[in-house]
Amino acid sequence: MEYHPARRRPGLFAPPTIELAAALAVAARYLSTSGAAAGSRLLGWRVDSGEDALALALCDSLLAGAALCIGLLDLAGDSPEVGQG
């Protein structure tokens, strides 16, 4: 199913306050930078141990966490309640 902004259900979660939005933005930057740095170091490695597989999974998790933070900010970005409270 293709995403369409008109299909978004309002009120599924409370929009973040200014402080929470700033924290999400910082977390997104940190997770993205850390995931990219870890990925760069792992580039070209053969995954031949459990430790290597764990490092790759951690890299993916960091980048997924960054994407989640960015997605939450995007969802709340056009909401008039952002920053209230």
Number of domains, the chain: 1
Does the residue 84 lie in any domain?
no
Please report the pLDDT score of residue 14 as a whole number.
76
pLDDT for 58-73, tens place per residue?
999 999 999 999 988 8
Please report the pLDDT score of residue 68 as a whole number.
93
- Indicate the length of the chain as a whole number: 85
Domain span at 24: 16-77
Does the residue 3 lie in any domain?
no
pLDDT for 4-62, tens place per residue?
555 555 666 777 888 999 999 999 999 999 999 888 887 877 777 888 888 889 999 99
Residue 84 or 36, more confident: 36
Question: What's the rounded Cα separation, in Å, for the pair 43 and 67?
Answer: 21
Give Cβ neighbours of residue 27 (< 8 Å, ≥ 6 apart).
65, 66, 69
Mean predicted confidence (pLDDT) in 75-82: 58
